[in-house]
Each structure stands twice: as C-alpha cells, then as structure tokens.
C-alpha cells in the first residue's frame, strides 16, 4: 500500500498473514474486527437459493472490510488468495475514525468505489455473455491486479485468484473461463504464461469484446501502490 491514509493506524495495527479460503467475517456476526487488506484479495460471497455460490465483490489491497448495508444477510467474507492483512479492533477503529477526517473521507471514497464496481457487475451479469464478461474482467484486472510492463511494451498480468472464484464472480464456470482464455490465446489477444499469468497482447481487443470502454476509464479502483510485487518470484526470470 505504501504510506496511504491508513499509515496513521500504525501503532494500533496487528499484522496477520492468512492462507486462502479462510473465513474472516461470518454471515451474521456483527464482526468484532476490521481488516485492512495489504496484499492479496478477499471475496464477499453468499450461497443462492439453488445452492450455487455467488461472489458479490472483492476487497482489494488498500481497502477496509465493511458490511455495506446493501449486502443482503447471509453473505460472508473469506480470503480468495493468500493475504497479508492488518487487524484492527472495531472499537479502536471507530475512535480513530472519529478523530481523523481524512480517514473518514478515504473510507467514503472506498465505499463509492465498491458501489461503482458492484453496479458494473450487475450490469455486466445482465447485459454481457460469459465470454464477454471474461474479456472485460481481464481488461479491468489490469487496473486492480498486479501488472508489470514487459520489455516489448506489452503487459504482464497476474491473476492470482483461483479459477472457481473467478467463475463464481463472473457468473460462469471454471471450464468456460479456461476455454475462453485459451480461445483468446489462439486469437493472439493474450498469451498464457502459466495458469495465473497472462501477457496482454491487445488490451484494446479485450476492452472491445468486453464492452468495457466506459468502465475501463471511469470505474474506481484502489491505487496499485505495490504494483508488480506479485511478480517478484514469477515473471522476473522471463
């Protein structure tokens, strides 16, 4: 994250690392703690009436977990990747919040950002087909997941979310995600370095296919303070 508005929480914070698929905030518990994401991704999920899991949104690095009032009951927050978090007592957080107008402002900003993304998801779910949603997701991912410019000018994108999570986020299946990415590779739009890493050969094509012109430029995402950090071990040797 670098020194952002949350740096002031330093003395109060307790740092934690957790593996993925770890339950953070339960369905209906009022959540005794507040978590700040430093690294990795959290997912907000619930199970639909048909037993199918829906991922309703993500918490990205720099963001603070919060139950929005728009989240219907029955949703919980889990880690979607290995994460590095910062735990704050709910009460302590509320106190700092009351003292620091800058923090309150930043938090409001975040809420707005999450609502914006949620609105886009709802639209995309209704208006786009699965393959288009996947294209849009990859395009937008360059704005909120770690990227690294490659020597040839193209972009390396690190999608560390597991397949089933991406599928449930986009309302499709892991198989379809796999098929579509490989089809995109055949069309020379992307290149699959390994299951989690793609070289984006034509961001434009992704944006076009995903009808994401608008969204790409206007959707609010947290700053990628430590952009590229996920590449330390993986893409460097390329």
Partner DNA sequence: CGCGTACTTGACGCTAGTCAAGAATCGTGG
Partner DNA sequence: CCACGATTCTTGACTAGCGTCAAGTACGCG
Q: Are 155 and 199 in contact (CB under 8 A)?
A: yes
Q: Look up residue 65 and give its two tokens.
A: 């977990």
Phi, psi of 183 (to 5 degrees): -65, -40
Question: Which partner in DNA, a second copy, none is near 179 (CB below 5 to 8 A by kind)?
Answer: DNA
| Spatial distance between the Cα atoms of 216 and 36, rounded to a whole number of angstroms | 25
Q: Which is nearer to DNA, 152 or 194 (CB)?
A: 194
Interaction of residue 208 with DNA, rule CB under 7 A: no
Shortest Å distance, C-beta 211 to a second copy:
8
Interaction of residue 192 with DNA, rule CB under 7 A: yes
Which run of H or E residues covers position 96?
A: helix 90-99
Q: Which of 26, 95, 175, 188 binds DNA (CB under 7 A)?
A: 175
Interaction of residue 174 with a second copy, rule CB under 8 A: no
CB neighbour list of residue 127: distance below 8 Å, 6 or more residues apart: 211
Q: Are 122 and 215 in contact (CB under 8 A)?
A: no
Interface with DNA in residues 28-57 (CB under 7 A) = 52
Interaction of residue 122 with a second copy, rule CB under 8 A: yes
The residues binding DNA (CB under 7 A) are 52, 129-131, 162-164, 171-179, 181-182, 192, 194-196
């Amino acid at each position: 994250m670098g020194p952002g508005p949350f740096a002031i929480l330093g003395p109060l914070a307790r740092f934690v690392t957790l593996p993925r698929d770890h339950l953070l905030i339960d369905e209906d518990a009022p959540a005794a703690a507040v978590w700040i994401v430093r690294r990795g991704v959290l997912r907000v999920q619930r199970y639909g009436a048909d037993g199918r899991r829906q991922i309703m949104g993500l918490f990205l690095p720099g963001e603070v977990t919060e139950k929005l009032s728009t989240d219907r009951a029955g949703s919980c927050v889990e880690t979607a990747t290995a994460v590095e978090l910062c735990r704050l007592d709910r009460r302590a957080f509320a106190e700092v919040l009351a003292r620091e107008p800058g923090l309150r402002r930043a938090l409001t900003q975040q809420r707005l950002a999450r609502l914006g993304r949620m609105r886009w998801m709802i639209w995309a779910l209704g208006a786009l087909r699965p393959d288009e949603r996947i294209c849009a997701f990859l395009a937008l991912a360059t704005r909120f997941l770690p990227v690294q410019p490659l020597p040839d000018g193209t972009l390396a994108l690190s999608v560390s979310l597991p397949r089933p999570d991406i599928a449930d986020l986009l309302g499709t299946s892991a198989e379809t995600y796999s098929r579509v990415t490989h089809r995109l590779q055949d069309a020379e739009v992307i290149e699959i370095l390994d299951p989690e890493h793609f070289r984006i050969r034509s961001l434009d094509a992704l944006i076009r296919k995903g009808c994401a012109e608008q969204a790409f430029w206007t959707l609010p995402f947290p700053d990628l303070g430590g952009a590229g950090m996920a590449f330390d071990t993986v893409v460097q040797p390329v």
